[in-house]
Structure 1
Amino acid sequence: MARPKILVVGAGFAGVECMRRLERRLGPAEAELTLVTPFSYQLYLPLLPHVAAGVLTPQSVAVSLRRSQRYRTRIIPGGAIGVDLKSKVCVIRDITDKIINERFDHIVLTPGSITRTFDIPGLAEHARGMKTLAEAAYIRDHVISQLDLADASQDEAERRSRLQFIVVGGGYAGTETAAYLQTLTCNAVKRYPRLDPSLIKWHLIDIAPKLMPELGERLGRNAQELLERRGIEISLGVSVARADDEEVTLTDGRVLPTRTLIWTAGVAASPLIGTLGAETAKGRLVVTPEMNVPGHEGVFALGDAAAVPDLAKGEDGAICPPTAQHAMRQGKAVADNVIAQLRGQPMQPYVHKDLGLVVDLGGSDAVSRPLGVELRGLPAQVVARGYHWSALRTGVAKTRVLTNWALNAVAGDDFVRTGFLSRRPATLRDFEYTNAYLTPEELAEHVAKATAAQVG
């Protein structure tokens, strides 16, 4: 008999943990394993602000998928752009733009998320995200280029606009991005004797009334006070009304001259979910506690793209937050359930109690709440970096990150602008490929044509 085909879509925390567990626990004769991902690495997203600030090199947070000693998974280099659950076909656009139809018996959907945007004039054209490795590298180049251009300019108004930076999103990604890049510019401006350091202004903006409310009242307030002491202006209850080339208009009427708008105001499930024709909740795919898509045997979904019930909270309708902590554990749980289904054994529901939160603000500044214990300053920083370091999957990645942290602490940054991405498109759509997916109608037509051609 032919081996059943297990297809995993996405190489984020959930997808990689699932695939590695399948490799370890399934014999080669039990199943054929395939992974669909544009890049043959797992991106450690929480450390992207470190890359943008030059504390870590890009290679440090891109963990190779081909280093595993048990590596036997076939990797298809491309992105899934549609899934027909009835025909059990995943449509893939590979990195050469060739369209591939990959059949499966079991599929694990971990396509992750994209940056959540709104219908704000100019946002898509002028905002930059912090969701991919390319975006982090681009933002670093862009921020340093603003210092270079301000230093070269003879126009005082242009200087002021180039040295004013806006980050939208008061969650972990936005707060850490603002903190790290503000440190980068404050250190870099010392190398620009013609620039007045007081002209550098960072704004952190969020529509919510509190900064990082998940941290709790006290730690959230401590983080806000710390950032304000460092000179970051925090505006809560405010968002962007309009974005242009040289200024951003806020909903409170203020107009801020700037050439830099970084948008980190939450995430939305991958557009791939919209091609399935299955039930969703707030854009995320509805699944059972076993992470099976109801009515579709052999179809599992988890991570940012799935509304996984949070049984540990004991609340009706509670859904697991889209965090790396949950994604990694869900990946292992789904692998076990796929194996159980293959072997005719009962599947187990996913239950995990949140272990806490860590927020790294650079240097010795951090706030953390491991296991409910509130920490701030150096102890919180040790916990935050210790958690990130331990979560890295390979010894090589751990060594690179630890070496980079140590080197940066001792030698600082060289403030090098590579220029690799200076001539490339730099919009949210270009970096995250949000326009690459098929509509349900296009998917149905494509599968029908492929089936007809195969029969003929």
Structure 2
Amino acid sequence: MSRPSVVVVGGGFAGYFAARTLERLVPADSADLTLISATDHLCYSPLLPEVAAGRLDPRRIAVPLHSGLQRTRLVQATVANVDFEGRTLEVVAESGPVEPVRWDRLALTTGSVTRTLPTPGVDNHALGLKTLVEAQFVHDHVLRQLELADSTANPDERRARLTFVVVGAGYAGTETAAQLQRATVTQLDRFPRLSRDELRWVLLDLAPSVLPELGPRLGRAALAVIRGRGMEVRLGTTLTSIGEGRVALSDGTGLPTHTVVWTVGVTPPPLVGRLGLAVSRGRLVVDEHLRLREGVWAAGDSAAARDPFSATGSDYPPTAQHAQRQGLVIGRNVAASLGVGRARRYRHRDLGLVADLGGVAAVARPMGVPLTGLPAKLVTKAYHLYALPAAGNRLRVAADWALNLVSRPIAAQLGLVGPAAARLAAEHEGADR
């Protein structure tokens, strides 16, 4: 008889740690392991703002799947559909459709894509920050705006080039706005025709506070830091339309700009909606063992697992921390279904969040303890080095950080990413991992 086939869909945090756990627990002759991923690496997404700001080389946070997984078959492709009755996956590679993949156990860890709203112009003009491709393009784009502003004699054009808008004041948006603003300020001395007064960064959100994930106290601390640097923060406000060179706001005003970074949250990829299964806010409803149905599990951003510690009965939030730990649990539970070990429930108290605001500024809440300033910065750096799942990546990230202390990061447009590949529409088209 052939060995059972275990297939993991998605090479993000949940998928990578599920596959790694299966390799550790399941004997090589007991099952065939396959991981299907659109990329050959895990992107350590919490450090994407540092890539966009030019403080980290993109490859520093790309963890190669081949080096972390020793006996798992890797298929670089996307999943177009799942046949639950026939237990096969419809798979599409860059070259076109490939042979369907059969499975006996299936782990759906498809991750997420940037959530969009029906705002005119979002797909054509907004820039995302969910992938390495998008982060690299944002870095080049911001530098390009400084160059164009420096070269024009038209004051209106210069004003638009030097106005940068970030939509979404949550974890990703606040970090991105803070680090990019600081990066542009440090580059101004290379453009003698530009002044600090002309540089304008605007952070927008419909919510009444920034960084609501960290609570009111740390949210106010972060707000004080970024406003103290001159950033405009408009709460209770969002975009109503994005055009070529101008945006309209919900308060009736407008801003001249060629840069809109869209960080308003995440949503499961289109594949999840095509499965015809129960969802909660677009995420697949799973039980306490992260089981979706017989022989099928789901974890990470695309899974809705009820948080037993929540006073309101809400689901666990879609964070990298939960995705990683859920991946470990479904790895154990798939192994248990093969007769190795026992199934486990997913129960995890949040270890806290960290937010790097650039320079020596940061806010953090490790184990519920609120920190600001240098202590928060040290905790933030230490956490990221701990959470990076490969020693080589840790060493290279630490080396870049050490160099940044004594030398300004190299500011150069590499031009490796075309505008079409960095638009939000492109992200959704290639989302089903």
**Above 0.5 in TM-score?**
yes
Q: 1:271 to 1:27 in 2, by over 3 A?
A: same
1:78 is aligned to 2:68: no
Deviations 1:63-117 (A, max 9, x none): 111223x600100011112112122111111122334411101110000011001
2:184 match? 185
CA shift at 1:12, angstroms? 0.8
2:343 to 337, 341, 347: 347
What is the rounded CA distance, in whole Å, between the counterparts of 1:97 and 1:234 in structure 2?
45
Q: 1:316 to 1:206 in 2, by over 3 A?
A: closer
1:227 is aligned to 2:223: no
Q: 1:248 to 1:11 in 2, by over 3 A?
A: same
Is this contact kept in 1: 2:137–2:419, CA < 8 A?
A: no
2:308 match? 311
| SS in structure 1 of the partner of residue 412 of structure 2 | coil
What is the rounded CA distance, in whole Å, between the counterparts of 1:218 and 1:22 in structure 2?
41
CA shift at 1:38, angstroms? 1.4
CA RMSD of aligned residues (A): 1.5
Deviations 1:297-356 (A, max 9, x none): 11000100000111233x463211111111111111111111111118652211011111
1:66 is aligned to 2:62: no
What is the rounded CA distance, in whole Å, between the counterparts of 1:340 and 1:182 in structure 2?
49
| SS in structure 2 of the partner of residue 312 of structure 1 | coil
What is the rounded CA distance, in whole Å, between the counterparts of 1:202 and 1:281 in structure 2?
35
What is the rounded CA distance, in whole Å, between the counterparts of 1:52 and 1:195 in structure 2?
21
Q: 1:408 to 1:100 in 2, by over 3 A?
A: farther
1:131 match? 130
Deviations 1:346-368 (A, max 9, x none): 52211011111111111100000
1:22 match? 22
CA shift at 1:424, angstroms? 4.4
Q: 1:132 to 1:65 in 2, by over 3 A?
A: same
Q: How many residues align?
A: 433
1:256 match? 255
Is this contact kept in 2: 1:85–1:276, CA < 8 A?
A: no
Alignment of 1:235-274 (within 5 A): 235-274=234-273
2:358 match? 362
Q: Which amino acid aligns with 2:50?
A: H
Runs of 4+ in 1 over 6 A off after TM superposition: none
5+ residue gaps, structure 2? none
Q: Which amino acid aligns with 1:406?
A: A
CA shift at 1:432, angstroms? 4.0
Alignment of 1:282-293 (within 5 A): 282-293=281-292
CA shift at 1:437, angstroms? 6.4
What is the rounded CA distance, in whole Å, between the counterparts of 1:376 and 1:418 in structure 2?
35
What is the rounded CA distance, in whole Å, between the counterparts of 1:437 and 1:347 in structure 2?
28
CA shift at 1:196, angstroms? 2.0
1:443 match? none
Is this contact kept in 2: 1:163–1:258, CA < 8 A?
A: yes
CA shift at 1:216, angstroms? 1.5
What is the rounded CA distance, in whole Å, between the counterparts of 1:257 and 1:247 in structure 2?
4
| SS in structure 2 of the partner of residue 80 of structure 1 | strand
Deviations 1:277-302 (A, max 9, x none): 11101100000000001xx2110001
1:300 match? 297
Is this contact kept in 1: 2:78–2:432, CA < 8 A?
A: no
1:395 is aligned to 2:373: no
2:100 match? 101
Deviations 1:33-65 (A, max 9, x none): 000011111100000000011110000000111
What is the rounded CA distance, in whole Å, between the counterparts of 2:151 and 2:145 in structure 1?
10
What is the rounded CA distance, in whole Å, between the counterparts of 1:207 and 1:86 in structure 2?
44
What is the rounded CA distance, in whole Å, between the counterparts of 1:131 and 1:246 in structure 2?
23
2:323 match? 327
Is this contact kept in 2: 1:38–1:95, CA < 8 A?
A: no
Q: Which amino acid aligns with 1:397?
A: N
| SS in structure 1 of the partner of residue 355 of structure 2 | strand
| SS in structure 2 of the partner of residue 227 of structure 1 | helix
Identity %: 44
| SS in structure 2 of the partner of residue 128 of structure 1 | coil
**Higher mean C-alpha deviation, range 87-96 or range 20-29:** 87-96
For normalisation by structure 2, the TM-score amounts to 0.97
Q: Which amino acid aligns with 2:239?
A: V
1:113 match? 112
5+ residue gaps, structure 1? 439-456
1:41 is aligned to 2:41: yes
Is this contact kept in 2: 1:132–1:432, CA < 8 A?
A: no
What is the rounded CA distance, in whole Å, between the counterparts of 2:72 and 2:98 in structure 1?
21
